[in-house]
Amino acid sequence: MSDPILTAAEMRAAEAAVIAAGTSVDTLMARAGAAVAEAAWRFAGGCPTLILCGPGNNGGDGYVAARRLRARGVSVHVAAWAPPRTDAARAARAAWDGPVVPLEDAPAAPLLIDALFGTGLTRPLDDAIAAPLDRLAAGAALRLAVDLPSGVGSDDGAVLGPVPRFDLTLALGSLKPAHLLQPAAALMGRVAVADIGVPAPGATMHRIARPLLPEPGPADHKYSRGMVAVVPGAMPGAALLAAGAAQRAGAGYVLLADEGAGGADALVRRRWSPDLLTDARIGAIVVGPGLGRDDDARARLEAALAAGRPLVLDADALALLRDRLPLEAPAVLTPHEGEFARLFGDMPGSKIERARAAARRAGAVVLLKGADSVVAAPDSRIGIAPPAPGWLASAGTGDVLAGAIGAMLAGGLPPFEAACAGLWLHGDAARRAGPALIADDLVTHLAAARGACA
């Protein structure tokens, strides 16, 4: 894990703790404004800049940035929607000795910096703000948002009205959920994090980063590297994808319970029997890809649940699981939105809140898949994946993910860490595979993704 993610309330609490320890609001604003100016300078050089300032401390950051940029010789104009309403923002405005024009009168500039609103916005922008913001964004060659683009919900990634697309978003202090959750994340452009001296030691949410995974040593053998059993069913192709993914993600021994299946020569195939899953060397069982939903499928799922081994439950296994929650064995559930709704019903709240509630109900890690995949543990920890290529919306890619997570479980990672590591490998393999990928391509590129984690 890396990069903590804080809600608006958590960010306020983190700032309050720093202020209580002796750092003034003005100092924090000076750091934030300096970070914005530095980011703008690196991003756009010295091109003419228009900074839009709101009435709160986000606007104060904008006034500080304006002063810093002008000191570097940049032509800076400032427009405000309303006068500053906080003491720190008033002080920053007073220190800016250039003109400030009303938002509706502002001329467009090559670089637009949006410092109107930061975190905590819960309603659409007024038309008096949205219309000039749209006009000025359309007239800019480059657009930079301070903390968040004005008009998105910090905690849930909602887009509260018309919001321009930005090229760069500078998160102040910590990432917020909206930086990674759709649909807001699609408007952010590149997201960078500015350290302003506000630590987040108690954060329960993090952006999923490249995992550090050990390479096999001289004493390792195929079983110590992890044994994965894949339980197929009516559609063996899906199980083959999962098995191949487990192999390429680093498992030392992959058993496919279907003696007639194809796949790599290194794949061990056995005729299905519940007794196959009693092998004490099995470190993870993958059930669901291609399983089906008939009585035979249900019997295979029951055998997997009874084995007491760590589980990855995907696809059809999720459709058969509703009456079996909570689970006793360590498990990772990998539903997409449709499977999630069928398994857990209509849950209120953001994607993060729904995944957390589902993990508590299931007694298992829940990986809620999508363009903004969220991993939730029963103890409330959250991992959010960086944006993955849209080309992953292709048949079989979820089966590959299940196999990769199975390899991580069999290698000894706890379920939450295994889900996060498998998800990172999956996304990295997709980036390596490139446009128009198919699931088989992911399997091929998992080896290189795994190699990058040593």
The string of pLDDT tens digits covering residues 33-54 is: 999 999 999 999 999 999 999 9
Local structure of 191: helix, strand or coil: strand
- Binding site as annotated, residues for (6S)-NADPHX: 57-61, 118-124, 147, 238, 290, 336, 399
What mean pLDDT comes out for the span 340-356? 97
Dihedral over Cα of 78, 81, 86, 87: its sign: positive
Q: Which two tokens stand for residue 312?
A: 């990855």
The one-letter amino acid at 195: D
- Binding site as annotated, residues: 57-61, 114, 118-124, 147, 150, 238, 290, 336, 369-373, 398-399
Residue 317 and residue 298 in contact, taking contact as beta carbons nearer than 8 Å: no
Per-position b or e across 103-126, b if 16+ CB within 10 A of its CB: beebebbebbbbbbbbbbbeeebe
In 337-453, DSSP assigns E strands to 365-368, 374-376, 382-384
What mean pLDDT comes out for the span 5-11? 97
What is the distance between the alpha carbons of residues 14 and 197, in angstroms, rounded to a whole number? 10
Please tell me the predicted confidence (pLDDT) of residue 221.
Answer: 95
The string of pLDDT tens digits covering residues 193-244 is: 999 999 998 899 999 999 999 999 999 999 999 999 999 998 989 999 999 9
What is the distance between the alpha carbons of residues 87 and 137, in angstroms, rounded to a whole number? 29
Confidence bin at 264 (pLDDT 50/70/90): confident
What mean pLDDT comes out for the span 296-322? 97
In 116-165, DSSP assigns E strands to 142-146
Helix%, strand%, coil% for the chain, nearest 5: 40, 15, 40
What is the distance between the alpha carbons of residues 11 and 126, in angstroms, rounded to a whole number? 25
Backbone torsions φ then ψ of 102, nearest 5 degrees: -60, 150
What is the distance between the alpha carbons of residues 297 and 127, in angstroms, rounded to a whole number? 56
Please tell me the predicted confidence (pLDDT) of residue 120.
Answer: 72
Best CA proximity match to 403, nearest among 265, 158, 229: 229
Confidence bin at 261 (pLDDT 50/70/90): low
pLDDT at 1 over 70: no
- Binding site as annotated, residues for K(+): 58, 114, 150
Domains of the chain in sequence order: 2-207 (3.40.50.10260), 227-451 (3.40.1190.20)
Dihedral over Cα of 37, 38, 39, 45: its sign: positive
The string of pLDDT tens digits covering residues 396-423 is: 999 999 999 999 999 999 999 999 999 9
- Binding site as annotated, residues for AMP: 369-373, 398
Residues with Cβ within 8 Å of 69's Cβ and at least 6 positions away in sequence, in order, are 37, 40, 41, 49, 76
Confidence bin at 119 (pLDDT 50/70/90): confident
